[in-house]
Amino acid sequence: MSEEAQLSIPPTIDNPLANQEPAQLEAEVEDFHKRVNLNGVVDLEILIRGARIAQQRWGDAPPGFTPAEFEAIKNENSKSYLSFLQTRGLLVTVMATACAAITQGWQQSTINASSLFLNWKVDFDLDDKLLIGFINAAPWLSGSLIGTWLSDPLQERFGRRPALFISAVFCVALVIGTARCNTWETLLVCRVLLGVGIGSKASIAPIFAAEAAPDRHRGKVLMMWQLFDALWRVLLATAIIPAIVLLFLVFMCPESPRFLIQRNQYPGAYKSLLELRGTPIQAARDLYYIHAQLQTEAVTVWDRHEGNSWWSEGEQIYAYQKWINKGNFFKRMMYLATEKRTRRACTVASIVMASQQLCGINVLAFYSSSILNTDPSDPESLFIKPTAVKWYNFAFGLANFLFTFPAYIYIDLRGRRPLLLVSFIGMFFSLVAVSGFFEIADHDTRLILIAVFTSLFFVFFYSIGAGPIPFTLSAEVFPLCVREVGMSFSVMINFLGLGLLVLFVPELTKEFGREAHLLFFFSGMNVLALILIFLLSTARQKVKS
């Protein structure tokens, strides 16, 4: 194919194969098959047929496909909620993501536990509330400022699986270390280092899941993070158990096909896709589509930044690899700020990640023991048994887990933005109601209404939107060539907000005078988030758009 022919049909990032004539597509696939050494790995005829399916955007298989291939594609396009979990490779990847999320949820729970049980503060002879808050917040502050940014060089150097393994090692080692601390100084060091593992894990796992998932079901796979982040409260386990399971599962997962393509390991990328998709035709389809899309995006980016004209066919074949190898971590960070498209992505990710922390969910989750026990106008509230708080926490987590399923069902059908809008509207009214319930004089009535509205209504609206969608959207919205550093930026915003909440909410409660006033403040934050999200155009965002 001549360079003039390429100039006449500029590809689009959304579907770089859309405008190609059949003969042109077949010629390019044949050339690709030779250039990337796929002889003996996948038949050229299968690769061509796979490219034709990709050109039709995952539509029905064209005539001439075998019954087995047709059935596999039909199952992949099915709206059944678990139809995408039809291969061992994808199932193991989802399980590894689930273990990472359970570990995350358990670590977050320790904040509420430390508010209820004061033994460690007594043992370490601590009465400085700001220092206690800093120790509680340390994992999230170090995770946001160190762990998230380490994830990009770790992934670039070792790949997704080894990077996730390293973060899991940090979690296992530091959980053990935290349990054996004898001074508050060593506890602080352990929690800071634990944050490094947590921050990198939270940045890597969603990307790993997004790159393994079929396009039609990517939202469902990414939902696993929120689903199992909430599940920990239902499981009678310790943080070290899911972290250890993650250590073993991570190397049973196929490596990310996009990472292997980045390293020019196309045969390995095909084998990884074969594990994830199950049939040669689906693996061939995704291999060529991912390759075409990555090269098109890289050419578009490099044209803007390097002043190049449209490249020749020979240069395009490895454009993505050249772009990645030419840049480094700091250049990719600069690209987030200098390129209009990535600035928009950063804005979207910042809004949804910050909104998750400002909606009030973690105030209720982390400080439920304090909120339920410290109404100064009612002496009875000071004598609530810890068992009652535990049951409240259990119901809170169970509701969060169960109410995530509606979002799991509708996220790929209705889009991200509508779910977010419904979520923040519902949380606003629920939080206003909870704030008002603190004014009820009767002790038992007040507690029942607060517990019901937080564990049912508020958590329901959180779980269908503000809970799962920020991490899902952040893993999708960045261009592929800066996805790792983009996800690091997103998780940094989320963890920084979380750390600041843990550090300052106790002091804010004092400033506001009552928990009711604090919750009313966060209901106002829901209105602000609602206004910002209303301005976003995120409906049906795809990982490649």
Q: What is the pLDDT of residue 349?
A: 92
Q: Measuring CA to CA, which residue among 500, 532, 72 is closest to residue 286? A: 72
pLDDT at 479 over 70: yes
Q: Measuring CA to CA, which residue among 121, 107, 226, 254 is closest to residue 183? A: 121
Q: How far from each other are the two terminal CA atoms of the chain, in whole angstroms?
A: 27
Q: Which two tokens stand for residue 260?
A: 């292997």
Q: Which two tokens stand for residue 480?
A: 């592929």
CA distance 295 to 495: 33
Highest mean pLDDT out of 122-126, 407-411, 534-538: 407-411
Least confident of 36-45, 222-231, 287-296: 222-231
CA distances 464 to 423, 439, 493, Å, are 6, 29, 21
CA distance 105 to 374: 25
User: Is 149 within 8 Å of 196 (Cβ atoms)?
Assistant: no
Chain position carrying tokens 């940045």: 203
Annotate 292-317 with DSSP letters as a single string.
Answer: HHHHHHHHHHHHHHH---SPPHHHHT
Least confident of 27-36, 222-231, 362-371, 439-448: 222-231
CA distance 55 to 49: 10
The three-class DSSP label of residue 280 is helix
Q: How confident is the model at residue 122 (pLDDT cuts 50, 70, 90)?
A: low
Chain position carrying tokens 């509680």: 136
pLDDT at 424 over 90: yes
* DSSP summary character for residue 374: -
Q: What average pLDDT does this structure show over 406-419? A: 76
- The predicted model scores a pTM of 0.81
Q: Give the phi and the psi of residue 188 in degrees, each rounded to 5.
A: -65, -45
Give pLDDT tens digits for 72-107.
777 776 655 555 556 788 888 888 887 887 777 766
User: Is 318 within 8 Å of 43 (Cβ atoms)?
Assistant: no
Q: What average pLDDT does this structure show over 218-240? A: 58
Annotate 384-441 with DSSP letters as a single string.
Answer: --HHHHHHHHHHHHHHHHHHHHHHHHHHHHH-HHHHHHHHHHHHHHHHHHHHHHTT-S
SS3 of the chain: helix, strand, coil, percent, to 5: 80, 0, 20
CA distance 60 to 74: 7
Half-sphere exposure of 397 (CA within 13 A, CB side): 22
What ranges in 56-124 are assigned the alpha helix state H? 67-77, 88-116, 119-123
Residue 39 makes CB contacts below 8 A (sequence gap 6+) with 33
Half-sphere exposure of 92 (CA within 13 A, CB side): 19
User: Is 42 within 8 Å of 272 (Cβ atoms)?
Assistant: no
CA distances 541 to 47, 216, 358, 417, 472, Å, are 28, 11, 23, 9, 10
Q: Measuring CA to CA, which residue among 46, 60, 48 is closest to residue 17? A: 48
Q: Measuring CA to CA, which residue among 476, 457, 465 is closest to residue 407? A: 465
pLDDT at 237 over 50: no
pLDDT at 336 over 70: yes
User: Is 103 within 8 Å of 242 (Cβ atoms)?
Assistant: yes
Tell me how many helices (H) and strands (E) the chain has. Answer: 28, 0
Specify the higher pLDDT residue, 526 or 216.
526
Q: Measuring CA to CA, which residue among 93, 92, 102, 397 is closest to residue 243? A: 102
Give pLDDT tens digits for 304-320.
555 444 444 555 556 67
Q: Is 180 exposed, middle or buried (0-12, 13-18, 19+ CB in 10 A)?
A: exposed
CATH T-level assignment (fold) for domain 88-256+330-534:
Growth Hormone; Chain: A; (1.20.1250)
Helix 160-179 / helix 240-249 crossing angle, nearest 10 deg: 160
Q: Which two tokens stand for residue 178?
A: 């935290």
Every domain of the chain and the residues it spans: 10-57+265-317, 88-256+330-534
Average pLDDT over all residues of the chain: 77
Q: Which two tokens stand for residue 124?
A: 């370490």
Q: What average pLDDT does this structure show over 12-36? A: 84
- Across 227-242, b (16+ Cβ under 10 Å) vs e yields bbbbbbbeeeeebbbb
